[in-house]
Structure 1
Amino acid sequence: MLMNTHEARLDALRKELARQNLDGFVVPISDEHMSEYVGGYAQRLAWLTGFGGSAGTAVVLADASVDPGAAIFVDGRYTLQVRDQVDGRLYAYESVPETSVAKWLAAYAPKGARIGYDAWLHSKGWVAAVRNALEPKGGTLVPVERNPIDAIWEDRPEPSSAAALVHGEELAGESSQAKREALSAWLAEEQLDVAVITALDSIAWLLNIRGEDVERTPVALSYVLAHADGTADLFIAEEKVTAELRRHLGNAVRIMARDAFVPSLQSLAGKRIAVDPERAVEAIFATLQNAGAAIVEARDPTVLPKAVKNPVEQQGHRAAQVRDGAAMSRFLHWLEQEGPKGEVTEISAAEALHTFRKQGGDLRDLSFDTISGAGPNGAIVHYRVSEETNRTLEPGSVYLVDSGGQYPDGTTDITRTVWIGPGEPPAEVKDRFTRVLKGHIALARAVFPRGTAGHQLDILARQFLWQAGLDYAHGTGHGVGSFLSVHEGPQRIAKSAGGQAGTDQDLLPGMFLSNEPGYYKTGEYGIRIENLVLVEPREIPGAEDEYFGFETLTLAPIESRLVDVGLLTADEIAWWNAYHARVAQVIGPQLEGSDKAWLEERCRAIG
């Protein structure tokens, strides 16, 4: 029998493992910066397995006769997608957090196994967990000198050579110098000499630069060493450096070759170095330890300041939302006209939305690959349409579209679920949609005291689904960057505290988050309603502490045809009507003719 492409690649990997004297190898979706979205050169898991999600890991044992000889690990967002994209004959499907790579290797790795890993792609904590899991079986975790995937991936793309771009203070709202001085003060307070900044969005924020090296995220491949005297070393490929960038950075930022990063780490013997164990890879820790540096584990000091947006960033985001909301409204009007004809597909709908955004002006990129899910594909939480999975939007069905844009003044993210007419939606669909809507409204209307963390609010969005014995397998809200990552920490709204990064973070004024409860019926339809919100102070007469609430930033109609108004309270109806009145007031002047008339109709009061 002839092997298919991914079977042949798996076979080639096993032969390479034998050449490197390894009994197994771990393949994550990651790069040297622990990024969520990675450049084409780092898409090793997709190349090997065919999996196109943004989070996942494969483990391959060298002995193909072992059952299972390989496994792929994904969380609840990708349970359906991984089965569509990855051959179950080649890989066992494993669900995280129910299991982990460490637990799987403890169960299936042979005794005395040498399991390879790339120390530039894994965290220090991950390495410790897997090493401990292998120990009882006499196994060892071996850092490879050359990634085995790279050894067999003949047409592997080169890292991007695009120039780094200046992000002006008129957009950033604060100079790079001021940010570096604040970081310097933190280093002095903590009696530290240097902070290692490895996250690409942290570097972009600190230096007020952007880039084109990663699709959907405007960052430049680089590293930074920030010093206690307020200076910094930027390690970046020479072809990415322009005269404008040099002028912007000034004399206090030394521009060095990217290849000089490791030697510079090795020169820090005796220095007290701050390194973030969540954002810096194991190779950095090992290099500093071998050099004799004193490593102090601490959260990247740019993370919280970056998350708390200044007034310029807040206003820029509002401006971006107006353009984005107008584009979304034009698209929803177009879809309401074209969808019932039975000719629109998931791909053509996503392309149409992209076109409307481009026509709106100043779009630099999408903020992520549009999730365009018709009928049962909408039930795949992070579905990514392809030519093989592309469905037609059938009349009398549910369509879910989750999308966003990267604008110089803001990053957007919106989900709308719509009914593709004609006809009346089934009672069950309306019930589920309305329960999701009630949760969305409850979170949007929340008022909470200073010190409240994301996990304390999560139940507000789930309560009406829980009452019907229903739930959804993803977080309710994630942080969002300012012309940066669409998923940004440290804030997060999700079920559990402690186990999930960000759920313990206090919500502070100036933070952007998403509000996106959902419901998914496997094989039939998916529902999600997502707006972005801003944490803002709330004045309450007689309040005995500081209280906060949310300003809803996203402006586009929510599908009224899927609402069972009888399930809404008077307060919920009042929220709906106030929200849509604001959509009509702000977005209406951006539209003309039939688009404007449609918006006015869709924003009409209910109840």
Structure 2
Amino acid sequence: MSETVARRRGTSLELGGEELGYILVRETVARRRGTRLQLSERDCVRLAGEELGYILSEYLAECDMRRAFISGFTGSAGTAIVTESAALMWTDGRYYLQATEEMGEGWTLMKEGQGSFISILSNNWRGLAVKAYFIFHPNRHSQLLRADNVLGLPVTPSQGKYLSDNFSEGSHVGVDPNVLSYEEWKIIQNDMKGSGVNLVPIATNLVDLIWEGKPASPSNMVVPLAIKYTGKSCKHKVEEVRSKMAEKGSTLLLVTALDEIAWLLNLRGSDIDYNPVFFSYVLVTQTQVHLFIDESKVTLAVRNHFNEEDLPVNIHAYNKIHSFIIEQIPEQTGKVWISSDGSYSLNSMVPEKIRISEITPIALMKAIKNTVETQGEPQFIGLGT
């Protein structure tokens, strides 16, 4: 976004008092965007970890690039934490230079992994130094787990550790539960354990509140992929999935990964540049398949595709996924399978005692190519083919 556009904003967002989790960006950064924020000391917010967006994918449509909008950093991996007095960006070694060049005034780069034992081993000469240190100091193995004891490098704190160290007991960290995976949520929560600092889900993404001219969500048509490219009908794939579900005692599988949905249903889309996927969710039971999608994307060709492959699919509005899950949970006689890579919002709706948080069977099935797929790879580019 150009500075000219930024200067035209002038939005005012007043936050404070006992509003939990409502802070967006510190005052100096806010002025750069032409936005005035009034923030309480108790508030802070974490923005789009791993640049996940609402679809929890490494690659995003423009409408989901919230982290890039607020910070200027466009790398595919990064986490922004914004408080009343600081704006920080965690990213890995691939993006140190890019983040430094792209981020706006007032942002601090947090070099993710710096000072960790793993990061040292990732560099050849440092790895040799560590190995040598093991040989000559065999009794100091535990100290080697802290890289600063070896090379004197500063250790970048994890996001949870930073929040624990910089906020007092009773402080609240606001998180949009749709943009953070369940796995990431638990990691941060564990890092803050005992500190009295709490993660708090917020109903509205704060970046969206000030993003004037935010790009619309893509509305590109979904297209079916012929069996001559897939080698297996979607009905056959669903039957295999149901078999794997039965082995785990699962009566409902919630699929959130876009590439898995595209592969399972033999469909392709173009909602994200250079990725043949489409915004959607899928629920699979032992008797039904439910597809949640913008219904305007579902053409007659797609409906005919399901008929031809003999797979009845119930189509629902994309934004009905949460209410539908609420209705379905009480009806389940078995476990609900949802990957922990899915959003905290969806995972937390399923009681832990009936939840399977493992990688989905689709991810494993998709990794094993059939004959048609292996033969078609040189000629055809697509997910799972």
1:78 is aligned to 95
After superposition, the Cα gap between the structure-2 partners of 1:59 and 1:50, relative to the gap in structure 1 and judged at 3 Å, is same
Counterpart of 2:46, as a letter, is V
1:300 is aligned to 360
Structure (1 or 2) with the larger CA radius of gyration? 1
CA distance in structure 1 between the aligned counterparts of 2:353 and 2:271, rounded to whole angstroms: 31
After superposition, the Cα gap between the structure-2 partners of 1:273 and 1:233, relative to the gap in structure 1 and judged at 3 Å, is same
Question: Are 1:249 and 2:306 an aligned pair?
Answer: yes
CA distance in structure 2 between the aligned counterparts of 1:113 and 1:135, rounded to whole angstroms: 13
2:110 is aligned to 94
Q: Quick check: 1:114–1:139 contact (8 Å CA) kept in 2?
A: yes
Question: Are 1:53 and 2:78 an aligned pair?
Answer: no
CA distance in structure 2 between the aligned counterparts of 1:10 and 1:224, rounded to whole angstroms: 41
After superposition, the Cα gap between the structure-2 partners of 1:71 and 1:175, relative to the gap in structure 1 and judged at 3 Å, is same
1:500 is aligned to none
Q: 1:182-581 alignment to 2 at 5 Å?
A: 182-229=240-287, 231-250=288-307, 252-267=312-327, 268-269=329-330, 271=332, 272-278=335-341, 280-289=342-351, 294-319=354-379, 409-410=380-381, 481-482=383-384
The runs of 4+ residues in structure 1 deviating greater than 6 Å are 2-6, 9-14
Q: SS state of the match for residue 277, structure 1?
A: coil
After superposition, the Cα gap between the structure-2 partners of 1:306 and 1:118, relative to the gap in structure 1 and judged at 3 Å, is same
Q: Quick check: 1:70–1:90 contact (8 Å CA) kept in 2?
A: yes
Deviation of the 1:300 alpha carbon: 1.2
Counterpart of 1:37, as a letter, is Y
Q: 1:129-148 alignment to 2 at 5 Å?
A: 129-148=187-206
Q: Quick check: 2:30–2:37 contact (8 Å CA) kept in 1?
A: no
Q: SS state of the match for residue 213, structure 2?
A: coil
Deviations 1:533-588 (A, max 9, x none): xxxxxxxxxxxxxxxxxxxxxxxxxxxxxxxxxxxxxxxxxxxxxxxxxxxxxxxx
CA distance in structure 2 between the aligned counterparts of 1:310 and 1:300, rounded to whole angstroms: 19
CA distance in structure 1 between the aligned counterparts of 2:34 and 2:185, rounded to whole angstroms: 25
Q: TM-score, normalised by structure 1?
A: 0.49
2:207 is aligned to 149
Question: Are 1:25 and 2:45 an aligned pair?
Answer: yes
Deviation of the 1:97 alpha carbon: 2.6
After superposition, the Cα gap between the structure-2 partners of 1:23 and 1:265, relative to the gap in structure 1 and judged at 3 Å, is same
Deviations 1:248-289 (A, max 9, x none): 1235211111122111110122522001102x1100012223
CA distance in structure 1 between the aligned counterparts of 2:250 and 2:61, rounded to whole angstroms: 33
Deviation of the 1:313 alpha carbon: 1.6
Deviation of the 1:22 alpha carbon: 5.7
Quick one: which of 178, 182, 186 aligns to 1:120?
178
CA distance in structure 1 between the aligned counterparts of 2:32 and 2:38, rounded to whole angstroms: 10
Q: SS state of the match for residue 170, structure 1?
A: helix
CA distance in structure 2 between the aligned counterparts of 1:14 and 1:130, rounded to whole angstroms: 29
Q: Quick check: 1:101–1:130 contact (8 Å CA) kept in 2?
A: yes
Counterpart of 2:87, as a letter, is A
Q: SS state of the match for residue 90, structure 2?
A: strand
Deviation of the 1:33 alpha carbon: 2.8
Deviations 1:56-81 (A, max 9, x none): 111000x23xxxx1210111111111
After superposition, the Cα gap between the structure-2 partners of 1:159 and 1:130, relative to the gap in structure 1 and judged at 3 Å, is same
CA distance in structure 2 between the aligned counterparts of 1:59 and 1:82, rounded to whole angstroms: 14
CA distance in structure 1 between the aligned counterparts of 2:356 and 2:170, rounded to whole angstroms: 33
Relative contact order higher in (CA < 8 Å, ≥ 6 apart): 2
User: Can you give the 5+ residue segments of structure 1 that lack an aligned partner in the other structure?
Assistant: 320-408, 412-480, 484-607
Q: If each structure's strand is expressed as a fraction of its own residues, which one has the higher value?
A: 1
Deviations 1:212-260 (A, max 9, x none): 111110111000001123x310001111111111111235211111122
After superposition, the Cα gap between the structure-2 partners of 1:143 and 1:318, relative to the gap in structure 1 and judged at 3 Å, is same
After superposition, the Cα gap between the structure-2 partners of 1:209 and 1:303, relative to the gap in structure 1 and judged at 3 Å, is same
Counterpart of 1:175, as a letter, is S
Q: TM-score, normalised by structure 2?
A: 0.75
Deviation of the 1:11 alpha carbon: 7.0
Deviations 1:299-354 (A, max 9, x none): 111101111222212222123xxxxxxxxxxxxxxxxxxxxxxxxxxxxxxxxxxx
After superposition, the Cα gap between the structure-2 partners of 1:14 and 1:225, relative to the gap in structure 1 and judged at 3 Å, is farther
2:223 is aligned to 165
CA distance in structure 2 between the aligned counterparts of 1:37 and 1:209, rounded to whole angstroms: 18
Q: Quick check: 1:17–1:148 contact (8 Å CA) kept in 2?
A: no
User: Can you give the 5+ residue segments of structure 2 that lack an aligned partner in the other structure?
Assistant: 8-27, 115-156
Q: SS state of the match for residue 288, structure 1?
A: coil
CA distance in structure 2 between the aligned counterparts of 1:270 and 1:91, rounded to whole angstroms: 48
Counterpart of 2:304, as a letter, is R
Tell me the C-alpha RMSD between the 2 structures.
2.4
Sequence identity, in percent? 29
Deviation of the 1:24 alpha carbon: 0.9
Q: Quick check: 1:17–1:25 contact (8 Å CA) kept in 2?
A: no
CA distance in structure 2 between the aligned counterparts of 1:115 and 1:32, rounded to whole angstroms: 19
After superposition, the Cα gap between the structure-2 partners of 1:144 and 1:264, relative to the gap in structure 1 and judged at 3 Å, is same
Counterpart of 2:348, as a letter, is A
Q: Quick check: 1:168–1:208 contact (8 Å CA) kept in 2?
A: yes
CA distance in structure 2 between the aligned counterparts of 1:221 and 1:17, rounded to whole angstroms: 34
How many residues matched? 312
